[in-house]
Structure 1
Amino acid sequence: MSAVELARLQFAATTGIHWLFVILTMGLVPLVAIMHTRAAYTRDPAKRAVRERMTRFWAQLYVINYAVGIVTGLVMEFQFGLSWSGLSKFAGNVFGAPLALETLIAFFAESTFLGMWIFGWGRLRRGVHVTLIWLVTLTAYASGYWIMVANGFMQHPVGYEVRDGVAYLTDFGALLTNPNALVALAHITLAALTTGTVLVLGISAHHLARGTPDTELFRGSLRLALLVGTPAAWFVATVGEMQVPLIRRSQPMKAAALEGGDIDRVQAELVHEHGPDDYVFAHDWLRFSMESMTLIGYAVSTVTLIAVLLLWKGRLWRWRPFAHLLTLMIPFPFLASLAGWALREMGRQPWIIYGELTVEDALSPVSRTSLLVSCTVFVAIFVALAVTNWTLIARFARRGPDATQLGATEPLGDPPGGTEAKQPVPTY
């Protein structure tokens, strides 16, 4: 493999693995926020206790994914300078600001709010505590927005001008409202909600099929997941289709590959416009990614609709084969998301910034041996982190709410009356 291919493989593998963490984080945190809000404002003590346990159980899975995923995110920031210095030199003045804002939001604001929420159980006022988890949700999606602003510029550069071989930002508003960023963000938001709700559906169905004593907890989780996930799963494909006109205008070769257009004609037009190069890149893989994503999307949306119908008279938790189907469905939204990212990133080749900077020109002046070593090390670390993450999630998911440690009330220090006088930290 050439140096360019190794660099692309390294970035594709690490980005793809990191994205698995991101989409689950974005998908789970709104559900946790809704659960916590319902628990905090439930007056009936018995129902409030169940909803608190529900919140803490799903939040623990979310926190595991967030904590491990934040490590992978740190590496993503460094790769632009390590392997793609040409990209930073050409476009750092434009998308440096969105990347910096994403870093500030994700690694400072979001993590700070999350830490306060985690350690605030039984210590903060109800309204403050609930506000914190909604701030975590808001900052998670704000972080996603800034990433899509930077990526949208790479897909369809706007609001800039090139002087002396360097891009300079001229219209910040155009950068922020780039349709290639906004429509993609809407699509990703629905995909994330679908991913998070399918995880909740699958784990809840697993426990209900096993005859869990926490029936009310998992039935409530399943209902909430269907309430959020069913419309998200149905509209994710619709919003995805809204990107097609944008692709036709900004990336004609991708459009030709997906729609069966005249690839030779588009190749000739691009050669005339941008100079000699191979603009026909992996069009078979593009179609495969698109078809896989579409097939999985419609399959998941159909299953969720059937699940809604089976809720009538409690058939959903009595029909074990369907419960097992919901559990087996957990990986598929992740596969669809990976296919979507492959479609988005591979489709603009050979450009790293469409029409302005090629992948080869963006590569750092490093040797093939250095890239081989870094690729091997990075991919191995990321795979190990992914395996660790899913092992922990699976372990705590199987153990159920009784093994939940997040938000567990702990006794205060020894009072004057001795250990017997200890009182637990009160909840709401």
Structure 2
Amino acid sequence: MSTLSLARSLFALTAGTHFLFVALTLGLATLVAIVQTRAVFGGDAVHLRMVRFWGQLYVINYAVGIVTGLLMEFQFGLCWPGLTDRARDVFGAPLAMETLVAFFVEATFLGLWIFGWDRLNRHAHLALIWIVTLTAYASAYFILVANGFLNHPVGYVRSGGELRVDSAGALFTNPAALLPLGHVLSGAFLTAGFFMAAVSSWHLLRSREPEFYRRSLRIGLVSVLLAVLPTAAFGGVQFPYVHDDGGVRPLSGLSADVMMAAWAWMFVVALMALVKLPFTGWLLRGRIFLRVVTVTLPLPYVAMLAGWIYRETGRQPWLIYGVLRTEDAVRPMGHGAMLAAITGVTVLFAALVVVNIALLRQYARRGPDAAALGRSEIAAPSEPVPSF
């Protein structure tokens, strides 16, 4: 492979893998916030246990995802100096805002939420998780503004060989950013819904905590029902902003087929859930349905990754479509150095993915009573947090 091909592969690895972490983080944060709202205003002990259990899984995914995001930022500086030199004002501004939101606001309030369980008023504690959720949405928006500019450059002027912001309004209301935002948020909600439903189904098949996992299963399936059609709709309206260069048409076509096939399967599962949800007994006795939900868990990830490939490969050979070619933005470094970089990052990403899956699997299998999140230091292992 050429140095350019290795650099592109490194970008695909880091951005694509990081996106998989982001999807579950966005969706699960929303579901945890909703469940905690019900716990605070409804006073239901089951909902409180759900917040601790699902919240712990959210924190695990968030923490590992942060590391993948740092590695993605590293490869930008390592491989693509032409992008940062030519478009630092236009491309860098939303990324800088995302950094401020993600690392200074979202992470700070998440830390307060994690360590403030038995120290803060329950309404103040609830406000923290909603702030975390909304700042996560803002972080995703700023990232998509930067990405939208690559696919559909607007709001800029050329000045001395550099691109500068000419219209902040055009840049931040770019349809190539706003439409993907709807797609990403609904897709994240769909991913978290299937995650919650699949984990709950696995436990119900083993007759564990039927009341706890029955409620979790219903929340997960309702999330799937609410998100499955908007995900497809927001995806469909993006086609005018997705390029289809002849050189990558086979790859784009294959990824589009995979994406739509995965969505079709999820839609069928959603229809099955729509029929079963009104009948609690039928829902719990349907062991075949529970198995189907469990094995469907990987499909949201498959669909998102295929959709990302379809969107991003089509603009080649342009890094900024019609403005900056990919070959003109890559760092002129030796083939051996680039190969060493992609090998090292690949090993790190593989390790992070394995660690994340292992931790999620381990803590998901343990059940709600083993959740350490929100555990009072003086409470017995099986006692709920006294704050609520």
TM-score (normalizing by structure 1): 0.87
Which of 286, 289, 308 is equivalent to 1:322?
A: 289
Task: Give yes or no for the alignment of 1:246 onto 2:206.
Answer: no
Give 1:124's aligned amino acid.
L
Could you tell me how far 1:311 is from its partner in structure 2?
A: 2.2
Number of equivalent positions: 384
**Residue of structure 2 in register with 1:227 after alignment:** 222
Give 2:251's aligned amino acid.
W
**Is 2:152–2:241's contact at 8 Å kept on the other side of the alignment?**
no
Mapping of 1:74-113 within 5 angstroms? Answer: 74-113=70-109
Could you tell me how far 1:224 is from its partner in structure 2?
A: 1.4
**Residue of structure 2 in register with 1:262 after alignment:** none
| SS at 1:161 equivalent | strand
CA distance in 2, matches of 1:41, 1:145: 30
| SS at 1:109 equivalent | helix
**Is 2:375–2:385's contact at 8 Å kept on the other side of the alignment?**
no
Mapping of 1:272-311 within 5 angstroms? Answer: 279-311=245-277
**Residue of structure 2 in register with 1:38 after alignment:** 38
**Is 1:105–1:143's contact at 8 Å kept on the other side of the alignment?**
yes
Counterparts in 2 of 1:95 and 1:318: CA distance versus 1, 3 Å: same
**Residue of structure 1 in register with 2:28 after alignment:** 28
**Is 2:193–2:222's contact at 8 Å kept on the other side of the alignment?**
no
CA distance in 1, matches of 2:127, 2:163: 40
CA distance in 2, matches of 1:426, 1:56: 13
Could you tell me how far 1:282 is from its partner in structure 2?
A: 1.8
CA distance in 1, matches of 2:152, 2:122: 45
**Residue of structure 2 in register with 1:335 after alignment:** 302
Structure 1 residues 193-243: Cα deviation after superposition (integer angstroms, max 9, x where no partner): 10010000101111111101x211111111112222212012211121111
CA distance in 2, matches of 1:20, 1:227: 22
Mapping of 1:180-199 within 5 angstroms? Answer: 180-199=176-195
| SS at 1:317 equivalent | helix
Counterparts in 2 of 1:190 and 1:81: CA distance versus 1, 3 Å: same
Could you tell me how far 1:78 is from its partner in structure 2?
A: 2.2
| SS at 2:42 equivalent | coil
Give 1:216's aligned amino acid.
E
Could you tell me how far 1:163 is from its partner in structure 2?
A: 2.1
CA distance in 1, matches of 2:109, 2:191: 23
**Is 2:374–2:385's contact at 8 Å kept on the other side of the alignment?**
no
Give 1:426's aligned amino acid.
P
Q: Which runs of 5+ in 1 are unaligned?
A: 255-278, 413-422
**Residue of structure 1 in register with 2:16 after alignment:** 16
**Is 2:228–2:267's contact at 8 Å kept on the other side of the alignment?**
yes
Task: Give yes or no for the alignment of 1:386 onto 2:346.
Answer: no
Could you tell me how far 1:173 is from its partner in structure 2?
A: 0.5
Could you tell me how far 1:426 is from its partner in structure 2?
A: 2.9
CA distance in 2, matches of 1:158, 1:366: 31
Q: Which runs of 5+ in 2 are unaligned?
A: none
**Is 1:411–1:424's contact at 8 Å kept on the other side of the alignment?**
no
CA distance in 2, matches of 1:4, 1:231: 42
Between 1:231-240 and 1:385-394, the stretch displaced more is 231-240
**Is 2:196–2:217's contact at 8 Å kept on the other side of the alignment?**
yes
CA distance in 2, matches of 1:245, 1:76: 28
**Is 1:27–1:192's contact at 8 Å kept on the other side of the alignment?**
yes
Could you tell me how far 1:64 is from its partner in structure 2?
A: 0.4
Could you tell me how far 1:8 is from its partner in structure 2?
A: 0.7
**Is 1:17–1:383's contact at 8 Å kept on the other side of the alignment?**
no
When the two chains are superposed, the root-mean-square deviation of aligned CA atoms in Å is 1.4
Could you tell me how far 1:82 is from its partner in structure 2?
A: 1.0
Mapping of 1:145-156 within 5 angstroms? Answer: 145-156=141-152
Could you tell me how far 1:188 is from its partner in structure 2?
A: 1.0
CA distance in 2, matches of 1:35, 1:325: 25
Give 1:31's aligned amino acid.
L
CA distance in 2, matches of 1:11, 1:178: 23
**Residue of structure 1 in register with 2:387 after alignment:** 427
**Residue of structure 2 in register with 1:66 after alignment:** 62
**Residue of structure 1 in register with 2:211 after alignment:** 216
CA distance in 1, matches of 2:234, 2:385: 46
TM-score (normalizing by structure 2): 0.96
CA distance in 1, matches of 2:240, 2:359: 42
Could you tell me how far 1:366 is from its partner in structure 2?
A: 1.4
**Residue of structure 2 in register with 1:274 after alignment:** none
Between the two proteins, what is the percent identity of the paired residues? 49
Structure 1 residues 83-117: Cα deviation after superposition (integer angstroms, max 9, x where no partner): 10001111111111100011111111111111100
Could you tell me how far 1:424 is from its partner in structure 2?
A: 9.8
Give 1:148's aligned amino acid.
L
**Is 1:234–1:298's contact at 8 Å kept on the other side of the alignment?**
no
Give 1:226's aligned amino acid.
L
| SS at 1:312 equivalent | coil
CA distance in 1, matches of 2:340, 2:40: 51
CA distance in 1, matches of 2:65, 2:278: 38
CA distance in 2, matches of 1:281, 1:70: 34
Task: Give yes or no for the alignment of 1:144 onto 2:156.
Answer: no
